[in-house]
Each structure stands twice: as C-alpha cells, then as structure tokens.
Amino acid sequence: MKKSIYYKKHKKYKKTYVLLKYIPFIILFIIMIIFFVKFNNKDKLDISLSNVASFKISSDNIIALEEVSKKYNIDFYEILTYYAIENNFFNDKNLDISNIEKDFIINYDSIKSKYSKKSVEPYYNLIKNIIEEIKNFPIPLEYANNYIYGDSYGAERTYGGKRIHTGTDIMDKENIVGRIPIISMTDGIIENIGWNEKGGYRVGIKSKSGNYYYYAHLDKFEEGMEKGKEILAGDTIGYMGNTGYSKIEGTKGNFETHLHLGIEAQTNLTNDELWINPYPFLSLIENRQKNSKN
Ligand SMILES: [Zn+2]
C-alpha cells in the first residue's frame, strides 16, 4: 500500500518536473505577446484621419511655430508634427501659441518620449514632404493686392451632392476673369489636364513625393500645357477663372472668379484619397516669400 502511494507521488513529481522545464519558455512566450501588443498599439496613434486632413492650424500660429523652431534650433517639421499630434491637429480649439515656450518647449523631450518614432513618422513625412516641395504661392507676388483667401476647408458644398470643401479658394478681389496668372507651387508632372464637371478647366500636377496638386476653375490654360509635361515650381499653368459646375465643357460664371487649390497627400496612413487642408501651407509659403522680398 505504502509503496504504491510513494510510486504515485513520484510519478506526479516527474510530471511536475517535466512541466517545470517548460515554464521559462511559457513565461518568455507570454512576455513576447505582451510586448507585441504593447508596441503594436504604440505604433498607431489615436487620431482620426479627417482631423489630420482638416489640419486647422491658423496662419499666425504656423508662422510663429517656425520662429520658435529657429529660436530653439529644433527641426521645424518635427516640432510642427509633435505639436499637431499633441493638439489633435488643431481641431478642438484655437491654440494660444504665446504659451508654447512654457507649455510645450520646456517639456519637449518628455512629450516626444510619449510616442514611438514609428508612430510619428507617417505624420512627419506628410508635413515635411508638402512644406519642402512647395516653393511658391500659386499666384505671383506682384498680384498680392488682387486676391484674398481664408481657411474654407470643411465648409459645406452642395453641387453634385452634399459634401465638404476639401481645398482652399483664392478669390480675385474684383472678380475679374483671366487676369491673375496661376503658377505651379511645386516641381512635378502634369497628370491631368482638361475639363471635369466640378473643377471646370483644371490641371493636376504630381510631385516627386507623390503628392497631387490640383488647380481648378481656370479660365484658360497656359500655352503648351499637356499631360505628361514636366513642370517647375513657378511655371505659369493657366489663368484664374470661374469655369465648372457643369457637364458642358467651357461653362463659365456659376460662381465668383477664384482658384480652387487642392492637395491630395501621398501617405501610408491610408489607401484612400487624403485631401489635406492647403491653408496652413499656403499662408506659410506666402509669409516666407513676402519676408524674403522685404
Ligand atoms: Zn474650392
């Protein structure tokens, strides 16, 4: 009787011993799963793409931020990216940037450490590619007194079904058709040219980074513009007009004379089209150009 109990016990120990042998591997496996889940989450930020696209930073704030980046010798694209991420791409409130030094710069390293590099990279690239490749405002500086524009991204549009405005409208102040030349903001290749129902006479230029710059409602194209043509920043592509909102090619006058400018960003954040708000980029380049002229 005793013997048999001993034997049973021993057998049990043997079994336990075999199990014990595997415990380190099991623990390692669990740790790996925890790390995998944790890092996977860390590599994705909780920001909706529509908030990224509507990028609501004001003209004054983006210009001020560039000054701050110079003052503290921080990469401007980086500081803009982290500032945008920390503030939901400026969708919630109008930021008071005057506190940036005491609220943001002083904590910059700890703010940066909250996010993995990998999670920030797509936003950084998105911002950097656009700012780096935009060389000029789409209208020559000598016409600076003839146009006006504001941030109209997200405003309601009804032609062709209820939708939101996914660009910036730059208006001719006196509503004069065909007087203001439209110049390319970037180098690139003409990918689309001709009539489309919403855009009227439009030119679409793809830059090296893959971003697509869309210039719509032109009165006419500059001579020699054609699909596949290589364009340099500053080249005249056409003249401001009021064409579009019709299936009939050449329809004019359905609205005031203006340029609709759109930027469809190439980004690995999504496989869908991402039309990002051009307004902050326009105001930044316009300010840089005006300052370098003075
Ligand atoms: Zn528009």
CATH of the domain at 265: 2.70.70.10
| 222 shares a domain with 156 | yes
Give distance in angstroms: CA of 128 to centre of ligand 1: 24
| 31 shares a domain with 55 | no
Give distance in angstroms: CA of 262 to centre of ligand 1: 8
Reply yes or no on whether the pLDDT at 6 is more than 70.
no
Give distance in angstroms: CA of 108 to centre of ligand 1: 37
| Last residue of one domain, picked from the residues 133, 149, 169 | 133
Give distance in angstroms: CA of 272 to centre of ligand 1: 20
| pLDDT one-digit tens code per residue, 267-290 | 999 999 999 999 999 999 999 999
Supply the pLDDT for residue 230. Answer: 98
Supply the pLDDT for residue 212. Answer: 98
User: The dihedral of CA 291, 262, 93, 125: what is its sign?
Assistant: negative
Give distance in angstroms: CA of 47 to centre of ligand 1: 25
Amino acid at 84: A
| 152 shares a domain with 205 | yes
Question: Who surrounds ion ligand 1 at CB < 5 A?
Answer: 167, 169, 260
Query: Per the structure block, which two tokens stand in for 156?
Result: 């309601």
Distance from C-alpha of 280 to C-alpha of 228, rounded to nearest angstrom: 29
Give distance in angstroms: CA of 243 to centre of ligand 1: 12
| 234 shares a domain with 258 | yes
Segment 167-180 shows an average pLDDT of 98
Give distance in angstroms: CA of 292 to centre of ligand 1: 28
| 151 shares a domain with 276 | yes
Give distance in angstroms: CA of 159 to centre of ligand 1: 11
- The backbone region for 232, taken as left when phi is positive above 0, alpha when psi lies in -120 to 50, beta otherwise, is beta
Q: Three-state DSSP class for 177?
A: coil
Reply yes or no on whether the pLDDT at 185 is more than 60.
yes
What is the percentage of the chain residues whose pLDDT exceeds 90? 76
Give distance in angstroms: CA of 164 to centre of ligand 1: 10
Give distance in angstroms: CA of 170 to centre of ligand 1: 8
Give distance in angstroms: CA of 146 to centre of ligand 1: 18
Supply the pLDDT for residue 11. Answer: 65
Distance from C-alpha of 200 to C-alpha of 205, rounded to nearest angstrom: 16
| 273 shares a domain with 239 | yes
| 146 shares a domain with 284 | yes
Give distance in angstroms: CA of 169 to centre of ligand 1: 5
Give distance in angstroms: CA of 260 to centre of ligand 1: 4
Give distance in angstroms: CA of 277 to centre of ligand 1: 11
Give distance in angstroms: CA of 167 to centre of ligand 1: 5
Give distance in angstroms: CA of 165 to centre of ligand 1: 6
φ, ψ at 146 (rounded to 5°): -105, -5
Give distance in angstroms: CA of 157 to centre of ligand 1: 9
Q: What's 223's DSSP letter?
A: T
Q: Three-state DSSP class for 123?
A: helix
Reply yes or no on whether the pLDDT at 93 is more than 80.
no
Reply yes or no on whether the pLDDT at 2 is more than 60.
no
| 209 shares a domain with 87 | no
| 288 shares a domain with 225 | yes
| pLDDT one-digit tens code per residue, 35-55 | 777 666 667 888 999 999 999
| 155 shares a domain with 70 | no
**Residue 7 belongs to what domain range?**
1-42
| 64 shares a domain with 25 | no
Mean pLDDT, all residues of the chain: 92
Segment 174-203 shows an average pLDDT of 98
Residue 73: partners with Cβ closer than 8 Å, 6 or more residues away: none
Q: Which residues pair with 238 in a beta bridge?
A: 182, 221
| 202 shares a domain with 79 | no
Give distance in angstroms: CA of 257 to centre of ligand 1: 11
Give distance in angstroms: CA of 202 to centre of ligand 1: 12
Angle between helices 76-86 and 117-133 (to 10 degrees): 120
Number of domains in the chain: 3
